[in-house]
C-alpha cells in the first residue's frame, strides 16, 4: 500500500514539472528592446510566444535580439501597419509602434 501512495504522489507532481519545463520552450529567447519617452531605453527578456502586448507609452526604434521573429504594429491590439523584424533586425529609428507580438503563428 505504501508503494502505491508513493507512486501516486510522484505522478501527481508530473503535470506541474512538465508545465514548467514546457514554458521555456514557448518563449522568444533573448531580448526585445525599444526606445520610450525622453529617449529612455526599455527591454523585455524572453517574452512568451504569440502574445500581443500593447505599449503603455511612446515606443519606437524596436530592436529584435530574440531568436524568433517579432512583429510591431502601428496600433494597439496588434492591428494597423505591421513591420516584421527577423532575429537581430531593427526597425528604423523614427518608426513608432503601439503593440508587438513575439513569434506569431
Domain with residue 54: its CATH number is 2.60.20.10
pLDDT tens track for 13-72:
434 333 333 444 467 799 999 999 999 999 999 999 999 999 999 999 999 999 999 999
Q: Which cell is 19 given? A: 508545465
Q: Do residues 44 and 31 touch, judged by C-beta distance below 8 A?
A: yes
Please give the torsion angle defined by the CA atoms of residues 74, 88, 103 and 24, in that order, rounded to the nearest 10 degrees: -130
pLDDT at residue 93, as a whole number: 83
Q: Does residue 78 fall inside a structural domain?
A: yes
Q: How would you classify the pairing of strands 52-54 and 41-45?
A: unpaired
Q: Does residue 57 fall inside a structural domain?
A: yes
CA dist 84 and 73 (Å) reads 9
**Does the predicted model carry a pTM greater than 0.85?**
no
Q: Which domain holds residue 93?
A: 27-102
Q: Does residue 67 fall inside a structural domain?
A: yes
Nearest to 55 by CA among 37, 68, 69: 37
Q: Give Cα 58 to chain centroid, integer Å.
A: 19
Q: How many domains does the chain have?
A: 1
Amino acid at each position: 500500500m505504501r508503494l502505491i501512495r508513493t507512486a501516486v504522489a510522484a505522478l501527481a507532481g508530473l503535470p506541474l514539472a512538465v508545465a514548467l519545463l514546457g514554458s521555456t520552450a514557448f518563449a522568444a529567447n533573448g531580448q526585445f528592446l525599444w526606445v520610450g519617452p525622453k529617449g529612455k531605453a526599455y527591454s523585455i527578456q524572453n517574452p512568451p510566444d504569440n502574445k500581443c502586448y500593447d505599449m503603455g507609452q511612446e515606443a519606437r526604434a524596436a530592436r529584435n535580439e530574440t531568436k524568433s521573429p517579432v512583429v510591431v504594429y502601428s496600433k494597439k491590439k496588434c492591428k494597423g501597419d505591421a513591420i516584421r523584424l527577423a532575429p537581430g533586425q531593427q526597425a528604423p529609428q523614427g518608426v513608432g509602434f503601439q503593440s508587438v507580438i513575439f513569434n506569431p503563428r
